[in-house]
Chain A
Amino acid sequence: MPHAHPTTPIRVLIAKPGLDGHDRGAKVVARALRDAGFEVIYAGLRQTPEEIVRAALEEDVDLIGLSILSGAHMALFPRVLALLKKEHAANIPVFAGGIIPDEDARQLKRAGIRAIFGPGTSLQEIVTTAQRLVRSAA
Protein backbone atom coordinates (compact mmCIF):
# COMPACT_ATOMS: atom_id res chain seq x y z
CA MET A 1 0.00 0.00 0.00
CA PRO A 2 1.30 3.45 -0.82
CA HIS A 3 1.62 5.65 2.22
CA ALA A 4 -0.75 8.57 2.37
CA HIS A 5 1.46 10.63 4.58
CA PRO A 6 5.22 10.53 5.03
CA THR A 7 4.85 9.94 8.77
CA THR A 8 2.32 7.12 8.42
CA PRO A 9 3.79 4.24 10.41
CA ILE A 10 4.60 0.94 8.71
CA ARG A 11 2.26 -1.82 9.91
CA VAL A 12 3.87 -5.20 10.37
CA LEU A 13 2.40 -8.50 11.54
CA ILE A 14 4.70 -10.60 13.71
CA ALA A 15 3.52 -14.17 14.12
CA LYS A 16 4.91 -17.45 15.26
CA PRO A 17 3.59 -20.43 13.35
CA GLY A 18 4.25 -23.94 14.55
CA LEU A 19 4.03 -25.63 17.89
CA ASP A 20 7.23 -24.66 19.68
CA GLY A 21 6.54 -22.94 22.92
CA HIS A 22 8.40 -19.67 23.49
CA ASP A 23 8.41 -16.38 21.68
CA ARG A 24 11.16 -14.37 23.32
CA GLY A 25 12.97 -13.75 20.05
CA ALA A 26 9.81 -12.61 18.31
CA LYS A 27 9.04 -10.24 21.17
CA VAL A 28 12.51 -8.71 21.06
CA VAL A 29 12.11 -8.09 17.33
CA ALA A 30 8.62 -6.67 17.91
CA ARG A 31 9.99 -4.17 20.42
CA ALA A 32 12.89 -3.16 18.20
CA LEU A 33 10.47 -2.48 15.35
CA ARG A 34 8.23 -0.45 17.64
CA ASP A 35 11.22 1.62 18.74
CA ALA A 36 11.94 2.25 15.07
CA GLY A 37 8.41 3.63 14.67
CA PHE A 38 6.60 0.56 13.30
CA GLU A 39 3.11 -0.44 14.36
CA VAL A 40 3.60 -4.08 15.25
CA ILE A 41 0.57 -6.34 15.33
CA TYR A 42 1.74 -9.12 17.57
CA ALA A 43 -0.30 -12.24 16.87
CA GLY A 44 1.53 -14.53 19.27
CA LEU A 45 2.26 -18.21 19.38
CA ARG A 46 1.00 -21.26 17.50
CA GLN A 47 -0.67 -19.48 14.63
CA THR A 48 -1.78 -21.52 11.66
CA PRO A 49 -0.90 -20.19 8.19
CA GLU A 50 -4.63 -19.52 7.66
CA GLU A 51 -4.81 -17.41 10.81
CA ILE A 52 -1.66 -15.52 9.87
CA VAL A 53 -2.90 -14.61 6.42
CA ARG A 54 -6.30 -13.64 7.73
CA ALA A 55 -4.73 -11.40 10.37
CA ALA A 56 -2.47 -9.81 7.75
CA LEU A 57 -5.44 -8.93 5.55
CA GLU A 58 -7.72 -7.68 8.35
CA GLU A 59 -4.92 -5.59 9.80
CA ASP A 60 -3.94 -4.36 6.32
CA VAL A 61 -0.26 -4.76 7.09
CA ASP A 62 2.61 -3.67 4.85
CA LEU A 63 4.84 -6.53 5.92
CA ILE A 64 4.78 -9.94 7.62
CA GLY A 65 7.48 -11.37 9.90
CA LEU A 66 7.46 -15.06 10.82
CA SER A 67 9.48 -16.59 13.58
CA ILE A 68 10.08 -20.27 14.10
CA LEU A 69 12.32 -22.58 16.10
CA SER A 70 10.68 -25.95 15.62
CA GLY A 71 11.98 -26.89 12.21
CA ALA A 72 8.54 -26.92 10.61
CA HIS A 73 9.46 -23.92 8.46
CA MET A 74 9.68 -25.90 5.20
CA ALA A 75 6.02 -26.82 5.54
CA LEU A 76 4.61 -23.66 7.11
CA PHE A 77 6.34 -20.77 5.31
CA PRO A 78 5.48 -21.89 1.75
CA ARG A 79 1.91 -22.42 2.91
CA VAL A 80 1.72 -18.80 4.11
CA LEU A 81 3.07 -17.65 0.74
CA ALA A 82 0.59 -19.82 -1.15
CA LEU A 83 -2.35 -18.49 0.84
CA LEU A 84 -1.24 -14.90 0.28
CA LYS A 85 -1.09 -15.59 -3.42
CA LYS A 86 -4.56 -17.10 -3.37
CA GLU A 87 -5.85 -13.94 -1.69
CA HIS A 88 -4.11 -11.74 -4.30
CA ALA A 89 -1.88 -10.41 -1.55
CA ALA A 90 1.47 -11.78 -2.73
CA ASN A 91 2.68 -8.16 -2.85
CA ILE A 92 2.98 -8.15 0.97
CA PRO A 93 6.63 -8.97 1.66
CA VAL A 94 7.34 -11.79 4.13
CA PHE A 95 10.54 -12.13 6.15
CA ALA A 96 11.49 -14.87 8.57
CA GLY A 97 13.67 -15.44 11.58
CA GLY A 98 14.73 -18.49 13.48
CA ILE A 99 17.02 -21.43 13.23
CA ILE A 100 16.96 -22.25 9.55
CA PRO A 101 19.72 -24.28 7.87
CA ASP A 102 21.44 -22.59 4.89
CA GLU A 103 20.10 -25.01 2.30
CA ASP A 104 16.51 -24.49 3.57
CA ALA A 105 17.07 -20.74 3.59
CA ARG A 106 18.08 -20.79 -0.07
CA GLN A 107 15.02 -22.80 -0.96
CA LEU A 108 12.68 -20.56 1.04
CA LYS A 109 14.13 -17.49 -0.65
CA ARG A 110 13.47 -19.02 -4.04
CA ALA A 111 9.92 -19.71 -2.88
CA GLY A 112 9.46 -16.02 -2.09
CA ILE A 113 10.51 -15.36 1.51
CA ARG A 114 12.22 -12.01 1.06
CA ALA A 115 14.72 -12.08 3.93
CA ILE A 116 15.85 -14.62 6.47
CA PHE A 117 17.54 -13.77 9.76
CA GLY A 118 19.52 -16.27 11.77
CA PRO A 119 20.01 -16.13 15.53
CA GLY A 120 23.06 -13.85 15.30
CA THR A 121 21.43 -11.05 13.27
CA SER A 122 21.53 -7.59 14.81
CA LEU A 123 18.23 -5.85 15.52
CA GLN A 124 19.47 -2.88 13.51
CA GLU A 125 19.85 -5.08 10.45
CA ILE A 126 16.35 -6.48 10.89
CA VAL A 127 14.90 -2.97 11.18
CA THR A 128 16.69 -1.61 8.10
CA THR A 129 15.81 -4.66 6.04
CA ALA A 130 12.16 -4.39 7.09
CA GLN A 131 12.11 -0.73 6.05
CA ARG A 132 13.74 -1.55 2.73
CA LEU A 133 11.29 -4.38 1.98
CA VAL A 134 8.31 -2.08 2.48
CA ARG A 135 9.86 0.70 0.44
CA SER A 136 10.52 -1.60 -2.49
CA ALA A 137 7.01 -3.10 -2.29
CA ALA A 138 5.24 0.30 -2.38
Chain B
Amino acid sequence: MTRAVPSAARAILDGDRRALARAISQVENRDPSVAPVVRALYSHVRNVPVVGIAGPLGVGKSSLINLLVARLRELGRTVAVVAVDPSSPYSGGSVLGDRIRFSRRADDGGVFFRSMASRGEAGGLAAATREVTRMLAAANFEVVLVETVGSGQVDIAVRDVATTSVVVLVPHLGDEVQTLKAGLFEIADVFCVNKADLPGAELARKDLAELVGLAAARGAWTPRVVSTSTFPTPPLGIAELWSAIEDHERFLDDSGQRATEERRRLATEIVELVRERVGRELSERIDRAPGLRKLLDEVVARRIDPRTAAERVERDRPRRG
Protein backbone atom coordinates (compact mmCIF):
# COMPACT_ATOMS: atom_id res chain seq x y z
CA MET B 1 0.00 0.00 0.00
CA THR B 2 1.37 3.40 -0.89
CA ARG B 3 0.16 6.69 0.47
CA ALA B 4 0.75 10.19 -0.76
CA VAL B 5 3.49 11.94 1.20
CA PRO B 6 1.88 14.97 2.86
CA SER B 7 3.45 18.26 1.79
CA ALA B 8 4.43 19.06 5.39
CA ALA B 9 6.48 15.86 5.53
CA ARG B 10 8.15 16.71 2.21
CA ALA B 11 8.99 20.16 3.51
CA ILE B 12 10.45 18.78 6.74
CA LEU B 13 12.62 16.31 4.80
CA ASP B 14 13.78 19.17 2.58
CA GLY B 15 14.93 21.17 5.61
CA ASP B 16 12.02 23.59 6.01
CA ARG B 17 12.37 24.68 9.64
CA ARG B 18 8.97 26.29 9.96
CA ALA B 19 7.23 23.18 8.74
CA LEU B 20 9.25 21.29 11.35
CA ALA B 21 8.35 23.78 14.10
CA ARG B 22 4.65 23.54 13.24
CA ALA B 23 4.63 19.76 13.16
CA ILE B 24 6.31 19.72 16.58
CA SER B 25 3.50 21.93 17.91
CA GLN B 26 0.94 19.52 16.53
CA VAL B 27 2.63 16.63 18.29
CA GLU B 28 2.70 18.65 21.53
CA ASN B 29 -0.96 19.51 21.10
CA ARG B 30 -1.80 15.84 20.49
CA ASP B 31 -3.38 17.10 17.28
CA PRO B 32 -4.57 14.01 15.37
CA SER B 33 -4.11 15.74 12.01
CA VAL B 34 -0.32 15.31 12.34
CA ALA B 35 -0.65 11.52 12.05
CA PRO B 36 -0.05 11.35 8.26
CA VAL B 37 3.09 13.48 8.65
CA VAL B 38 4.46 11.29 11.44
CA ARG B 39 3.68 8.22 9.36
CA ALA B 40 5.39 9.56 6.24
CA LEU B 41 8.51 10.60 8.14
CA TYR B 42 8.96 7.35 10.04
CA SER B 43 10.86 5.46 7.35
CA HIS B 44 13.27 8.40 7.03
CA VAL B 45 14.30 8.35 10.68
CA ARG B 46 17.93 7.41 11.19
CA ASN B 47 19.30 6.08 14.46
CA VAL B 48 20.99 9.23 15.72
CA PRO B 49 22.33 9.68 19.24
CA VAL B 50 19.58 11.07 21.46
CA VAL B 51 21.40 12.36 24.51
CA GLY B 52 19.38 13.04 27.66
CA ILE B 53 20.86 15.73 29.91
CA ALA B 54 19.12 15.27 33.26
CA GLY B 55 19.70 16.58 36.74
CA PRO B 56 18.33 18.70 39.56
CA LEU B 57 17.34 22.34 39.12
CA GLY B 58 20.11 24.80 38.35
CA VAL B 59 23.05 22.40 38.08
CA GLY B 60 24.04 23.83 34.70
CA LYS B 61 22.28 21.59 32.19
CA SER B 62 21.45 24.40 29.76
CA SER B 63 24.93 25.91 30.02
CA LEU B 64 26.43 22.51 29.24
CA ILE B 65 24.09 22.01 26.30
CA ASN B 66 25.11 25.38 24.90
CA LEU B 67 28.76 24.29 25.01
CA LEU B 68 28.06 20.79 23.70
CA VAL B 69 26.30 22.38 20.74
CA ALA B 70 29.36 24.56 20.10
CA ARG B 71 31.60 21.47 20.34
CA LEU B 72 29.42 19.49 17.93
CA ARG B 73 29.38 22.35 15.45
CA GLU B 74 33.20 22.43 15.68
CA LEU B 75 33.13 18.75 14.77
CA GLY B 76 30.91 19.60 11.82
CA ARG B 77 27.78 17.89 13.13
CA THR B 78 24.29 19.31 13.02
CA VAL B 79 22.40 19.28 16.32
CA ALA B 80 18.91 19.83 17.66
CA VAL B 81 18.01 20.60 21.27
CA VAL B 82 14.72 19.84 23.01
CA ALA B 83 14.45 21.44 26.45
CA VAL B 84 11.61 20.19 28.63
CA ASP B 85 10.31 22.17 31.60
CA PRO B 86 7.38 21.52 33.92
CA SER B 87 3.91 22.94 33.37
CA SER B 88 2.28 24.53 36.39
CA PRO B 89 -0.24 22.08 37.84
CA TYR B 90 -2.45 25.07 38.74
CA SER B 91 -2.63 27.19 35.61
CA GLY B 92 -1.29 24.73 33.02
CA GLY B 93 1.11 27.47 31.98
CA SER B 94 4.89 27.50 32.24
CA VAL B 95 7.98 29.62 31.90
CA LEU B 96 10.44 27.89 29.59
CA GLY B 97 13.78 29.52 30.33
CA ASP B 98 16.42 27.20 28.96
CA ARG B 99 16.85 29.25 25.82
CA ILE B 100 18.50 32.01 27.87
CA ARG B 101 21.78 30.07 27.95
CA PHE B 102 21.71 29.33 24.26
CA SER B 103 24.10 31.53 22.33
CA ARG B 104 24.38 30.23 18.79
CA ARG B 105 24.59 32.69 15.96
CA ALA B 106 21.15 33.38 14.53
CA ASP B 107 22.30 32.39 11.03
CA ASP B 108 23.62 28.92 11.94
CA GLY B 109 21.33 26.58 10.01
CA GLY B 110 22.94 23.49 11.55
CA VAL B 111 21.21 24.01 14.89
CA PHE B 112 17.61 23.90 16.07
CA PHE B 113 16.35 24.68 19.57
CA ARG B 114 12.90 23.91 20.88
CA SER B 115 11.40 24.39 24.34
CA MET B 116 8.65 22.03 25.47
CA ALA B 117 6.35 22.15 28.47
CA SER B 118 5.60 18.87 30.21
CA ARG B 119 1.78 19.27 29.93
CA GLY B 120 0.59 16.52 32.21
CA GLU B 121 1.86 13.11 33.10
CA ALA B 122 5.29 11.74 32.36
CA GLY B 123 4.35 8.76 30.20
CA GLY B 124 2.54 10.84 27.61
CA LEU B 125 5.33 13.39 27.62
CA ALA B 126 7.92 10.72 26.91
CA ALA B 127 5.90 9.48 23.93
CA ALA B 128 5.50 13.01 22.54
CA THR B 129 9.19 13.76 23.09
CA ARG B 130 10.17 10.61 21.24
CA GLU B 131 7.96 11.57 18.33
CA VAL B 132 9.63 14.99 18.29
CA THR B 133 13.17 13.57 18.43
CA ARG B 134 12.35 11.31 15.49
CA MET B 135 11.06 14.29 13.51
CA LEU B 136 14.35 16.06 14.22
CA ALA B 137 16.30 13.01 13.05
CA ALA B 138 14.19 12.86 9.88
CA ALA B 139 14.93 16.57 9.37
CA ASN B 140 18.60 15.59 9.16
CA PHE B 141 19.87 16.55 12.57
CA GLU B 142 22.77 14.26 13.42
CA VAL B 143 22.56 14.58 17.19
CA VAL B 144 19.59 15.37 19.43
CA LEU B 145 20.10 16.71 22.96
CA VAL B 146 17.18 16.55 25.40
CA GLU B 147 17.29 18.62 28.59
CA THR B 148 15.05 17.51 31.41
CA VAL B 149 14.73 18.10 35.11
CA GLY B 150 15.43 14.61 36.30
CA SER B 151 14.00 14.76 39.79
CA GLY B 152 10.91 15.97 41.51
CA GLN B 153 7.74 16.82 39.67
CA VAL B 154 8.55 16.32 36.00
CA ASP B 155 10.39 13.08 36.06
CA ILE B 156 10.23 12.55 32.32
CA ALA B 157 11.36 8.99 31.88
CA VAL B 158 14.76 9.87 30.39
CA ARG B 159 15.50 6.22 29.66
CA ASP B 160 12.40 6.03 27.49
CA VAL B 161 13.68 8.84 25.32
CA ALA B 162 17.47 8.91 25.27
CA THR B 163 20.05 6.49 23.87
CA THR B 164 22.63 7.96 26.26
CA SER B 165 21.64 9.48 29.60
CA VAL B 166 23.91 12.07 31.18
CA VAL B 167 23.17 12.92 34.80
CA VAL B 168 24.51 16.32 35.86
CA LEU B 169 25.42 16.99 39.49
CA VAL B 170 27.26 19.69 41.39
CA PRO B 171 29.81 19.33 44.18
CA HIS B 172 27.85 19.49 47.40
CA LEU B 173 27.83 17.12 50.24
CA GLY B 174 24.80 14.88 50.13
CA ASP B 175 24.07 15.32 46.45
CA GLU B 176 25.03 11.74 45.76
CA VAL B 177 22.50 10.56 48.31
CA GLN B 178 19.80 12.77 46.81
CA THR B 179 20.63 11.39 43.42
CA LEU B 180 20.29 7.84 44.61
CA LYS B 181 16.93 8.71 46.07
CA ALA B 182 15.70 10.39 42.93
CA GLY B 183 16.51 7.23 40.99
CA LEU B 184 18.93 9.12 38.80
CA PHE B 185 21.81 6.87 39.69
CA GLU B 186 20.38 3.87 37.88
CA ILE B 187 19.75 5.73 34.66
CA ALA B 188 23.15 7.39 34.20
CA ASP B 189 25.47 6.25 31.41
CA VAL B 190 27.63 9.29 32.08
CA PHE B 191 27.89 11.36 35.27
CA CYS B 192 28.89 14.98 34.83
CA VAL B 193 30.13 16.84 37.89
CA ASN B 194 29.57 20.41 36.76
CA LYS B 195 30.70 23.62 38.49
CA ALA B 196 34.10 22.02 38.96
CA ASP B 197 35.33 25.53 39.72
CA LEU B 198 33.57 25.29 43.10
CA PRO B 199 35.26 23.83 46.18
CA GLY B 200 34.66 20.14 46.76
CA ALA B 201 34.48 19.24 43.08
CA GLU B 202 37.37 16.80 43.12
CA LEU B 203 35.99 15.07 46.19
CA ALA B 204 32.57 14.77 44.58
CA ARG B 205 34.11 13.27 41.47
CA LYS B 206 36.05 10.70 43.52
CA ASP B 207 33.02 9.75 45.62
CA LEU B 208 30.96 9.29 42.52
CA ALA B 209 33.64 7.26 40.76
CA GLU B 210 33.75 5.00 43.81
CA LEU B 211 29.98 4.55 43.86
CA VAL B 212 30.05 3.80 40.15
CA GLY B 213 32.85 1.28 40.70
CA LEU B 214 30.81 -0.51 43.33
CA ALA B 215 27.79 -0.70 41.06
CA ALA B 216 29.71 -1.58 37.91
CA ALA B 217 29.12 -5.31 38.26
CA ARG B 218 25.49 -4.91 37.20
CA GLY B 219 26.14 -4.42 33.50
CA ALA B 220 28.64 -4.42 30.67
CA TRP B 221 28.92 -0.63 30.59
CA THR B 222 30.62 1.13 33.46
CA PRO B 223 29.22 4.66 33.76
CA ARG B 224 31.82 7.34 33.14
CA VAL B 225 32.42 10.28 35.46
CA VAL B 226 33.47 13.60 33.91
CA SER B 227 34.15 16.97 35.56
CA THR B 228 33.15 20.16 33.77
CA SER B 229 33.00 23.87 34.33
CA THR B 230 31.12 26.14 31.96
CA PHE B 231 32.53 29.34 33.47
CA PRO B 232 36.16 29.79 32.37
CA THR B 233 37.16 30.58 28.81
CA PRO B 234 37.81 28.12 27.44
CA PRO B 235 35.42 26.02 29.54
CA LEU B 236 36.65 22.79 31.13
CA GLY B 237 35.81 19.20 30.30
CA ILE B 238 33.39 19.73 27.39
CA ALA B 239 35.39 17.72 24.85
CA GLU B 240 35.77 14.95 27.48
CA LEU B 241 32.04 15.00 28.14
CA TRP B 242 31.27 14.57 24.47
CA SER B 243 33.86 11.74 24.14
CA ALA B 244 32.27 9.91 27.07
CA ILE B 245 28.88 10.21 25.35
CA GLU B 246 30.34 8.96 22.08
CA ASP B 247 32.03 6.03 23.84
CA HIS B 248 28.67 5.00 25.18
CA GLU B 249 27.09 5.32 21.74
CA ARG B 250 29.85 3.12 20.33
CA PHE B 251 29.29 0.61 23.12
CA LEU B 252 25.59 0.45 22.17
CA ASP B 253 26.56 -0.53 18.63
CA ASP B 254 29.35 -2.96 19.52
CA SER B 255 27.33 -4.77 22.18
CA GLY B 256 24.13 -4.96 20.17
CA GLN B 257 22.32 -3.12 22.96
CA ARG B 258 21.17 -0.32 20.69
CA ALA B 259 18.75 -2.66 18.98
CA THR B 260 17.44 -4.30 22.16
CA GLU B 261 16.96 -0.97 23.93
CA GLU B 262 15.26 0.63 20.97
CA ARG B 263 12.91 -2.34 20.85
CA ARG B 264 12.09 -1.88 24.53
CA ARG B 265 11.53 1.86 24.07
CA LEU B 266 9.26 1.34 21.08
CA ALA B 267 7.24 -1.21 23.04
CA THR B 268 6.84 1.29 25.90
CA GLU B 269 5.85 3.97 23.44
CA ILE B 270 3.11 1.87 21.87
CA VAL B 271 1.73 0.95 25.31
CA GLU B 272 1.77 4.62 26.29
CA LEU B 273 0.01 5.74 23.12
CA VAL B 274 -2.69 3.12 23.56
CA ARG B 275 -3.11 4.05 27.21
CA GLU B 276 -3.47 7.70 26.27
CA ARG B 277 -5.91 7.10 23.45
CA VAL B 278 -8.05 4.52 25.22
CA GLY B 279 -8.08 6.63 28.36
CA ARG B 280 -9.12 9.77 26.51
CA GLU B 281 -11.78 7.99 24.51
CA LEU B 282 -13.23 6.34 27.59
CA SER B 283 -13.25 9.59 29.61
CA GLU B 284 -15.27 11.17 26.86
CA ARG B 285 -17.77 8.30 26.67
CA ILE B 286 -18.10 7.09 30.25
CA ASP B 287 -20.91 9.45 31.20
CA ARG B 288 -22.35 9.89 27.68
CA ALA B 289 -22.66 6.57 25.85
CA PRO B 290 -25.93 4.93 27.01
CA GLY B 291 -24.44 1.53 27.94
CA LEU B 292 -21.61 3.09 29.89
CA ARG B 293 -23.91 5.55 31.61
CA LYS B 294 -26.06 2.70 32.79
CA LEU B 295 -22.99 0.91 34.10
CA LEU B 296 -21.89 4.06 35.90
CA ASP B 297 -25.40 4.39 37.42
CA GLU B 298 -25.04 0.89 38.80
CA VAL B 299 -21.69 1.76 40.35
CA VAL B 300 -23.08 4.97 41.86
CA ALA B 301 -25.98 2.96 43.34
CA ARG B 302 -23.38 0.61 44.90
CA ARG B 303 -24.72 -2.39 43.03
CA ILE B 304 -21.49 -2.89 41.04
CA ASP B 305 -18.04 -2.01 42.37
CA PRO B 306 -15.68 0.05 40.19
CA ARG B 307 -13.27 -2.84 39.67
CA THR B 308 -16.00 -5.10 38.29
CA ALA B 309 -17.24 -2.24 36.13
CA ALA B 310 -13.74 -1.74 34.74
CA GLU B 311 -13.52 -5.45 33.91
CA ARG B 312 -16.79 -5.21 32.00
CA VAL B 313 -15.64 -2.18 30.06
CA GLU B 314 -12.45 -4.01 29.25
CA ARG B 315 -14.28 -7.21 28.21
CA ASP B 316 -16.52 -5.32 25.82
CA ARG B 317 -13.61 -3.75 23.97
CA PRO B 318 -12.71 -5.41 20.69
CA ARG B 319 -9.42 -7.26 20.94
CA ARG B 320 -6.63 -8.31 18.66
CA GLY B 321 -3.49 -10.44 18.78
Instruction: Give me the interface of A with B, judged by CB distance under 8 Å.
Output: 1, 3-5, 7-9, 11, 30-31, 33-45, 48, 50-51, 53-55, 57-60, 87, 89
Q: What residue in chain A is nearest B119 (Cβ atoms)?
A: A9
> Is residue B288 contacting chain A, with contact meaning CB distance below 8 A?
no
Interface flag for B222 (CB, 8 Å): no
Residues of B within 8 A of A30 (CB): 95
Tell me if A58 and B17 are in contact (CB < 8 A).
yes
Residues A39 and B26 in contact, CB atoms below 8 Å apart: no
Contact partner, B99, options A3, A37, A42, A60, Cβ 8 Å: A42
Task: Tell me whether A39 and B94 are in contact (CB under 8 A).
Answer: yes
B95 near A34 with CB under 8 A, answer yes
Cβ–Cβ < 8 Å partners of B26 in chain A: 4
Contact B112 A58 (CB under 8 A): yes
Which 10 A-B residue pairings sit nearest by Cβ, starting from the closest?
A4-B31, A44-B100, A50-B106, A34-B93, A60-B21, A4-B29, A37-B93, A42-B97, A60-B25, A51-B106
**B114 contacts chain A at the CB level, 8 A cutoff:** yes
Using known A-B contacts A58-B21, A58-B113, A60-B24, determine if residue A39 contacts B33 with beta carbons closer than 8 Å: no
Contact assessment for A42 and B95 in the assembled complex, using a CB-CB cutoff below 8 Å: yes
Q: B interface vs A, CB < 8 Å?
A: 17-18, 21-22, 24-26, 29-31, 33, 87-88, 90-97, 99-100, 106-107, 112-115, 117, 119
Task: Determine the main DSSP class of B at the interface with A.
Answer: mixed
Q: Least Cβ distance of B108 to chain A in Å?
A: 9
Among residues of A, the one whose C-beta sits closest to the C-beta of B26 is A4
Is the CB–CB distance between A58 and B93 below 8 Å? no
A59 contacts B21, C-beta separation under 8 Å: yes
| Interface residues of A, dominant DSSP | mixed
A11 to B94, CA, bound (A): 10
A60 and B29 CA atoms in complex are apart in Å by 12
Nearest A residue to B103 via CB reads A51
A48 to B88, CA, bound (A): 30
When the two chains form their complex, are residues B114 and A58 in contact, meaning their CB atoms are under 8 A apart? yes
Note all chain A residues with C-beta closer than 8 A to B119. Answer: 9
Chain A residue nearest to B117 in the complex (CB): A39
Chain A contacts for B106, CB-based, 8 A:
48, 50-51, 53-54
Are B99 and A1 in contact (CB-based, < 8 A)? no
Chain B residues lying within 8 Å of A55, measured Cβ to Cβ, are 99, 113
CA A30 – CA B22 in complex, angstroms? Answer: 23
CA distance A36 to B90 in the complex (A): 10
Of A9, A58, A60, the most chain B CB neighbours within 10 A belong to A58
CB-nearest residue of chain B to A48 = B106
Query: 27 A-B residue contacts at CB 8 Å?
Result: A4-B31, A9-B87, A9-B93, A31-B95, A34-B91, A34-B95, A35-B88, A35-B90, A37-B91, A38-B93, A39-B87, A39-B93, A39-B94, A39-B117, A40-B94, A40-B96, A41-B96, A41-B99, A42-B100, A54-B106, A55-B113, A57-B17, A57-B21, A58-B21, A58-B112, A58-B113, A60-B22
Q: Report how far A69 CA is from B320 CA in the complex, Å.
A: 63
Chain B residues lying within 8 Å of A58, measured Cβ to Cβ, are 17, 21, 112-114
Instruction: Determine if A1 and B22 form an interchain contact, defined as CB atoms under 8 angstroms apart.
Output: yes
**Complex Cα gap A55–B115 (Å):** 10
Question: Given A35-B88, A39-B94, A59-B21, are A44 and B30 neighbors across the interface (CB < 8 Å)?
Answer: no
A26 and B13 alpha carbons, distance in the complex (Å): 37
Closest beta carbon of chain A to B204's beta carbon, Å: 29
Collect the chain A residues with CB atoms within 8 Å of residue B97's CB: 42, 44
